[in-house]
Amino acid sequence: MNKFATAGQNKRQPSAQQGSVLVAVLAVILLLSFIITRFMNEAVEDLEYRAIFNETNDIRTFAFSMLEASLATVQEVALIDEGKLYAPEQGWSDPISYTNISVPSDWDVQIELSDVSGKLPLNTMSEKLLNNLLEEQLDFDFGTARELSSSLLDWIDSDDDRRLNGAESETYLDQNPSYRAANRPILSLHELKLLQTWDEEFFDENGQPKPVFNQLSQLVSTIYTGPINLNSAPAAVIELLALQDGFQDQSVFDGLDSPYLKTAPAGANLQTCGTEVRLLQITVTIQRGNSPYIITALVEPQIRNSSQAIDQSVSSQKTSNSNLIKTGTFKEQAALKYPFKIIQISEYDSKPIISDSARHSALNIKN
């Protein structure tokens, strides 16, 4: 009986071993399947990413054609209003629909147009307006606001005379590493990191922007220097301008015949308040896979209606007849004049932050 029991045990042992091997093989197959699936997913994403750069010429060409289409849309719509640009409600906010351009099926194309002239010109605004901005909208106390404004004005003026609460090169030369005051307009808001008081109030110990920096970026521009377009200005900007000039910010858009202003409200200073787009930012985003290709262009509209173009051509004919280019009449040459001044074109991989117009946010618009 023991012999039979031993034989039975010997017969069952191979089955147990085979089962263990089968489980191990299945585990290995499962692991390999997971690894292969993961590899294939990452490979597809990598191929999509690389495809953007392998087809750079095609994408860049299409992106710039979208930019041209946007400019053409803006010009055509503006000419209907005698060459004036006031607000997107004129009909230039969606160039793809307006021009009916065919977009490749596997491309996600977006075009955003934003009015930069709705922001306060940080480099040229008055000291009074700057202090009001710091106190009323950014909630700094009286003393800190004066330190901030004095430091900024010392940084951008052309002399080395230090204001009471400001700082000039003698202050910054004591830093490690040392540097001098720029004595020119600031080129980027991140340059404020170098300024006395601004470095502590707007940036943390690691040099990263604080929330108040993002608030500031919604209200000011380091590029634009002209009158603020009230049609695209945030509510905070209109409040500051109203406080300075003495008009009622809550009634700016009341009783309009159109959804935007064509003239500044009574009492507004025309040196600081306007109603036209003076600087336009166009952002073209082409998305393929997880990686976008983005170009932005800052353009200054210089659109003239047909009568202005003819008058200009007549004037040119009278004054420079000897320099006439033999490629067409003066009227034809005037018609070919590019209606925009290109300030800057950039390529990058993140969308800019665009502030909301007060007409669509804080103010109660009455039609």
Question: Residue ranges of the domains in the chain?
Answer: 79-117+279-360, 120-223
CA 100 – CA 303 distance, rounded (Å): 23
Task: Give the model's pLDDT for residue 280.
Answer: 94
Per CATH, the number for 120-223 is 1.10.40.60
Residues 59-66: what's their mean pLDDT? 88
Confidence of residue 307 (pLDDT cuts 50, 70, 90): very low
Range name among 23-37, 228-242, 284-298, 317-331 with the lowest pLDDT average: 317-331
Q: Which of 104-108, 208-212, 267-271 has the highest mean pLDDT?
A: 208-212
The answer, yes or no, to whether residue 45 has pLDDT greater than 80, is: no
Average pLDDT score over the chain: 82
Instruction: Please tell me the pTM assigned to this model.
Output: 0.71
Which has the higher per-residue pLDDT, 226 or 367? 226
Give the mean pLDDT of 74-98.
Answer: 93
Per mean pLDDT, which of 105-109, 131-135, 265-269, 310-314 is the most reliable? 131-135
Of 69 and 35, which is predicted with more confidence?
A: 69
99-157, pLDDT tens digit by residue? Answer: 998 888 878 899 999 999 999 999 999 999 999 999 999 999 999 999 999 999 999 99
Q: What is the pLDDT of residue 304?
A: 72
Please state, in angstroms and rounded to a whole number, the distance separating the CA atoms of residues 82 and 307: 9
- What is the pLDDT at residue 347? 83
Rounded-to-integer distance, Cα 58 and Cα 190, Å: 34
pLDDT value of position 332: 58
Backbone φ/ψ region at 219: left (φ over 0), alpha (ψ -120 to 50), beta = alpha
Q: What is the mean pLDDT of residues 286-310?
A: 75
| pLDDT attached to residue 208 | 94
pLDDT value at residue 318: 40
Compute the radius of gyration of the chain from its Cα atoms. Answer: 31
Average pLDDT on 24-48 reads 79
Q: Is 193 exposed, middle or buried (0-12, 13-18, 19+ CB in 10 A)?
A: middle
- pLDDT tens digits for range 329-365: 546 545 657 888 888 888 865 555 555 555 554 444 3
The mean per-residue pLDDT over the stretch 260-284 comes to: 92
At 238 the three-state DSSP class reads helix
Percent with pLDDT over 90 in the chain = 51
Task: Give the CA count within 13 Å in the CB-facing half-sphere of 50.
Answer: 6
Q: What are all long-range contacts of 270-273, with beta carbons under 8 Å and residues at least 24 apart?
A: 270/227, 271/227, 272/129, 272/227, 272/228, 272/241, 272/244, 272/245, 273/227, 273/228, 273/230, 273/241, 273/245
